Amino acid sequence: MNKIRGEHLKYLPSRELKTCAGVNYGGEVCCSADMEVRLQARAREKHDKATRDTLHRLQQLLETRGTQFHSFFKDLLATSKKGFHEMFKKTYGILYEQNSSVFTDLFKELENYYAKGTVDLVETMDNFFNTLYQKMFTVLNSQYKFDSKYLECVGNNMKDMRPFGDVPQKLSVQIKRSFVATRAFSQALTVAADVLKNMQSLKPSIECAAALTRMTACSACIGIPGNVLACGDMCSNVMKGCLAHHAALDSEWNHFVEAVDKVADRLLGPFNIEMLVRPINLKISEAIMNFQENSQDVSQRVFTGCGRPVLGRRKRRDNREVPLESLNFDEDLPTDDRSPTTAMLDQLVKEIRKTVGDSRQFWVYLPYQLCNNGLTVPPSNTKECWNGTRVDKYMYSVSANGETQTLNPEVHGGGPRPTVVRDQIFALSTITNRLRSAFNGQDVDWIDTEETWYGSGSGSGEGTDEGPITDDEDGFTEGGSGYKPNHSIPEQPKQVPPSVHEDTIPPRVDIEPKNTSGNKTMVDSGAPRPQMSLTRALTTYLFPIAVMWFGGCLTEWL
């Protein structure tokens, strides 16, 4: 196109054009048909880039938060595993080392659940305590010989014996609820980021491209300087028409935001994963102590049910001959000495909840956000703006928000939903249902999720129908109602000039959690930590040592 310089304009018949025909008073323009095609391609490219950049910013923010949450949880598990190993090795010595696979397998299963979601947590805990029960029964009755059939009978009677007290039942419920909620929270961030990424592949329609050309390029064809911007209301209509398929995600996205907020409350309260994982060594040690305190009664009941075992003479073996298993508790530990704290977890969850919460109605605000990015003249109701045909007031009203744009004067309906849009709505619906199940303490089916520590969470699956939480066995009460989603349509943004919506996209926030005091602090989770009495502490740590000493002496006499 020739440079527009007053008398040097070269006008051509407007009938050669399609989009920019008739935009001036005389019916002639300085653009050729080829120029119009190039202008339209440029308008589509600029719009596509602006849309992708806006979606990408929120995508990156969610990905960063998700990676932080994943890294924190991975460090938490590694730290807990190391502390477990150090405590049990000091307390139970060689007995622990000889049977360490029971405990290492438990941590592996917990890690596998978070990584893949294919582990049955209740079954895992049942198997752990069943195996621990058989191992401890054998140690405490070392004067007898037990074959595999007898030990199978011992395991079958565990639930009736309740050798560990109520610890297995409580710990199993707590682990299931906390790990399900933690994984659902992490996967939700992954799914949301994937949705934003996939929507970036959606290209503007031909009708949208024509409207973008009329709004941003046709003014130059009649010699109007490029610094004259479009009227705000016109831009709103053009963007709403161009982004009609994006607006189709709004309702399901808002349900997703609500579900994330609910699960965040759980993670800050009764489902706090750190309050469960960090002291897990004490919980299991308490179970072992319960067994030791009732070992004689348990043994007699087993002998009554399974028969009196045969006395066996065991050969003395030097400790150096004991085949100790390779302990890999030091793998994947944090690279520094800083242990994750509850304050850090609480702050991270709160920041993630705010980031997701700020994106409520993101998709219906998206047209305003793009218009505010240098495309319009504020305020919208002015005569000093380009209205699509000349510099004058824009006479049409702003179209309603949402996917339906049949009354839009600039861009009519965009046709049937593309496959990529339907897929993202389905992904959001699926992860929202999983979050609701996690909030209610129910199992979640992760069969179709990618098997990575931090992978895609989109796909199908519903929570199992176990009903809402009604018990308070782990210290909280739900009142029996559970979480019921609000399916009402969220309030749409009011029709106001685009400048009002300049802050609708969540602002960039600091990625690293801030601590204004400079010191690490612990945040009270709402429930006081029980204090162990001196007598119980001595029993917990000294009694196992006495048992090992007595067992060693007994093997010397036999």
251-294: per-residue pLDDT in tens?
A: 999 999 999 999 999 999 999 998 888 889 899 999 999 988 88
Task: Encode pLDDT of 318-372 as tens digits.
Answer: 333 333 333 343 444 444 444 445 568 889 999 999 999 999 999 999 999 999 8
Lowest mean pLDDT among 223-232, 374-383, 541-550: 541-550
State the DSSP H helix or E strand holding residue 551, giving kind and residue range, or none if neither.
Answer: helix 534-557
Q: What is the mean pLDDT of residues 534-544?
A: 45
Q: What is the mean pLDDT of residues 98-126?
A: 91
Q: Judge whether residue 428 has pLDDT over 90.
A: yes
Q: Judge whether residue 409 has pLDDT over 70.
A: yes
Q: Token pair for residue 226?
A: 């490029």
Q: What span, in angstroms and rounded, lies between the C-alpha atoms of 435 and 102?
A: 31
Q: What span, in angstroms and rounded, lies between the C-alpha atoms of 408 and 405?
A: 5
Task: Encode pLDDT of 21-39 as tens digits.
Answer: 655 545 555 677 788 788 8
The structure tokens 């009978």 sit at 153
Q: Token pair for residue 361?
A: 């109605």
Strands 28-29 and 144-145: unpaired
Cis peptide before 497 (omega within 30 of 0): no
* pTM of the predicted protein model: 0.74
The region that residue 7 occupies, defined by phi over 0 for left and psi between -120 and 50 for alpha, beta otherwise, is alpha
Please list, in sequence order, all residues whose beta carbon lies within 8 angstroms of the beta carbon of residue 377, skipping any fewer than 6 positions away.
228, 229, 230, 231, 232, 384, 385
Q: What span, in angstroms and rounded, lies between the C-alpha atoms of 47 and 542?
A: 72
Q: Judge whether residue 543 has pLDDT over 80.
A: no
Q: What span, in angstroms and rounded, lies between the C-alpha atoms of 241 and 411?
A: 5
The structure tokens 């505010």 sit at 372
Strands 230-231 and 310-311: unpaired
Residue 366's pLDDT is: 95
- Confidence bin at 491 (pLDDT 50/70/90): very low
Question: Which of 370, 429, 379 shows the shortest CA–CA distance to 252?
Answer: 429
Q: Judge whether residue 466 has pLDDT over 50.
A: no
| Residue 314 CA to its chain's centroid (Å) | 53
DSSP string computed for 91-135: HHTHHHHHTHHHHHHHHHHHHHHHHHS---HHHHHHHHHHHHHHH
Q: What is the mean pLDDT of residues 236-246?
A: 94
Q: Judge whether residue 523 has pLDDT over 60.
A: no
Q: Token pair for residue 276?
A: 């469960």
Measured N-to-C along each axis, helices 33-92 and 280-293 cross at an angle, to the nearest 10 degrees, of 30
- Confidence bin at 52 (pLDDT 50/70/90): very high
Most confident of 44-48, 322-326, 453-457: 44-48
Q: What span, in angstroms and rounded, lies between the C-alpha atoms of 419 and 331?
A: 43
Q: What is the dihedral of CA 73, 77, 78, 84, to 10 degrees?
A: 160
Q: What is the mean pLDDT of residues 451-458?
A: 41
Please list, in sequence order, all residues whose beta carbon lies within 8 angstroms of the beta carbon of residue 34, skipping any fewer than 6 positions away.
none
Residue 454's pLDDT is: 41
Q: What span, in angstroms and rounded, lies between the C-alpha atoms of 283 and 296?
A: 22
Question: Which of 419, 417, 420, 399 shows the shortest CA–CA distance to 409?
Answer: 399
Cβ burial, residue 530 (10 Å; 0-12/13-18/19+): exposed
Q: What span, in angstroms and rounded, lies between the C-alpha atoms of 19 and 216?
A: 12
Size (the chain), residues? 558
Q: Judge whether residue 151 has pLDDT over 60.
A: yes
Q: Judge whether residue 99 has pLDDT over 60.
A: yes
State the DSSP H helix or E strand holding residue 28, giving kind and residue range, or none if neither.
Answer: strand 28-29
28 HSE (CA, 13 A, CB side): 7
Determine contact, residues 310/149, Cβ cutoff 8 Å: no
- Confidence bin at 482 (pLDDT 50/70/90): low
Determine contact, residues 1/33, Cβ cutoff 8 Å: no
Residue 160's pLDDT is: 81
Strand, helix or coil for residue 13:
strand
Q: What span, in angstroms and rounded, lies between the C-alpha atoms of 342 and 526?
A: 12
Q: What span, in angstroms and rounded, lies between the C-alpha atoms of 508 and 91?
A: 49
State which amino acid sits at residue 406. T
Determine contact, residues 200/51, Cβ cutoff 8 Å: yes
Residue bearing the bigger pLDDT, 238 or 159: 238
